[in-house]
Amino acid sequence: MAKRVRVVRMSVEQPLWRALTAYRILTMLYAILLAVFGREKYDRPWVAIAFLAVMTVWTLASLPKVAGAAACTRRFLGADLTLALVGILVTPLADFQAQHVDGPTLPSIWTAGSVLAFAIKGGWRWAAFASTFVAVANLIERAEPSRDTLHNVLLVWVASIAIGYVVEVARASERTLARALEIEAATRERERLARDIHDSVLQVLAMVQRRGTAIGGEAAELGRMAGEQEVALRTLVSSGLVPPTRVSEDAAEGAVVRTVEADDDETAAPAETDLRALLAPHAGSRVTFAEPGAPVLLTPAAAGELAAAVSAALDNVRVHAGESARAWILVEDWPDEVIVTVRDDGPGIPEGRLAQAEGEGRLGVALSIRGRLRDLGGTAELVSVPGQGTEVELKVPKVSRGKAGSVR
């Protein structure tokens, strides 16, 4: 079935825009109620009615404009701020005492919504620009500014700048998180490719080198060349020089991007795979397979990766413990996880050998086993005692935890 990729854009700004939308509606209603209950004080009530009618129509018509940063253009912000300033300046025309008596202006606290739009759209500099115009308009409207007037002007100015600064910090954090997610995705892709290379090309090159050396003659030269290519390829894999995944444009713009790979038929639930069917082919004269009597169901991806990790563990047994070593595979199906144990009766792993192997670019355990389990949200434990064999315990949760588990 064809696959497609869906990109979901999430932004920390969206809750702010939704809050601004609600604020504008509520403050519009508040300004209308103030005018209704204080209608006796207006010397020219038709001025107040005309302005409030325009403000109401503008507020309702401009709701789509404050739904997000893309729709909230500079032209809209300028018109919105202009309407707020006009409302402040025409207040003395409706109420002759407004310049001498402290009281609300016609737009009242609706004006702060215009300033907040500037803050969310452009940060603290835009907020300072808009709040400065509002402050000047309030000082002009009050022929004799009182202490309360100065206090309110300063409060709006400081609060809007603080909100704008918080928005800028949130955007910077969002960009950092998006970049971290992209780097993590690229790292996982490199590790996946490295595992595939280890399980295929590197194993073949190592086999050619061993067989060529054993046969001798021209085959020995072929084995030597295969060994050189194996070393070169291991160095390339361990250095991380595998092409990273492409950084999406959304991430570059600061959005947190989650890539979802889905079937065309999204309503169909993913089928489950019986892990026993994938592990049973390993059973043979030197490999004993013990399984539960009931199917061990996992998602196809989890079952495939777990089976590949078991295959890598058995490859290590054949390579390091010798062809005569015996191995045992035990599958345990628990309510919340599946545990697969691979044990052998080989000579065991000397202390410090794994760290030395990783330093030499031999990443079988690190990538083919631990890397796979980590990507599944599981764990991989390796216990080895010299002379008493090696045991690898692989644990995979049946339900994804949403993040990689610890790998020891």
Q: Which pLDDT belongs to residue 200? A: 59
- Averages of pLDDT over runs of 10 residues in the chain (408 residues) are 41 83 94 90 90 95 90 93 93 79 84 91 90 88 72 81 86 82 74 60 67 74 70 56 40 38 44 88 86 89 88 82 84 92 86 60 58 85 83 85 39
CA angle 292, 306, 324 (to 5 degrees): 80
The string of DSSP codes covering 2-28 is: -EEEEEEEE-TTHHHHHHHHHHHHHHH
Neighbours of 258 (CB within 10 A): 13
Residue 262: count other Cβ atoms within 10 Å of its Cβ: 12
Segment holding 156, helix H or strand E: helix 147-197
Strands of 141-225, DSSP E: none
Query: Rounded to whole angstroms, how far apart are CA atoms 372 and 401?
Result: 15
**How many CB atoms are located within 10 Å of the residue 179 CB?**
14
Q: Is the pTM of this model over 0.75?
A: no
Q: Which residue's entry shows tokens 């052998």?
A: 344
CA atoms within 13 A on the CB side of 405: 20
Q: In the beta sheet, which residues pair with residue 3?
A: 263
The rounded distance, in Å, linking the Cα atoms of 170 and 159 is 17
| CA pair distance 75, 244, nearest whole angstrom | 41
124 phi, psi to nearest 5 deg: -70, -30
pLDDT at 394: 93
pLDDT at 357: 56
Cβ proximity of 92 and 100 under 8 Å: no
Nearest to 113 by CA among 95, 89, 87: 87
The kind and range of the H/E element at 277 are helix 275-279
Q: Rounded distance, CA 43 to CA 12, Å?
A: 46
Beta bridge partners of 257: 9
Q: How many CB atoms lie within 10 A of CB 111?
A: 26
For residue 248, the model assigns a pLDDT of: 39
Question: Count of alpha carbons within 13 Å of 157, Cβ hemisphere only?
Answer: 15
Specify the pLDDT at position 53.
Answer: 95
Partners of 24 in the beta sheet? none
d(CA 277, CA 38): 81
What is residue 57's predicted lDDT score, i.e. its pLDDT?
96
Q: Give, to the nearest 10 degrees, the angle between helix 14-37 and helix 110-122.
A: 170
Q: What are phi and psi of 38, to 5 degrees?
A: -110, 30
- Any idea what the Cα angle at residue 36 is, between residues 32 and 37, rounded to 5°? 120
Cβ atoms 373, 394 nearer than 8 A: yes
Three-point CA angle 270, 370, 303, nearest 5°: 25
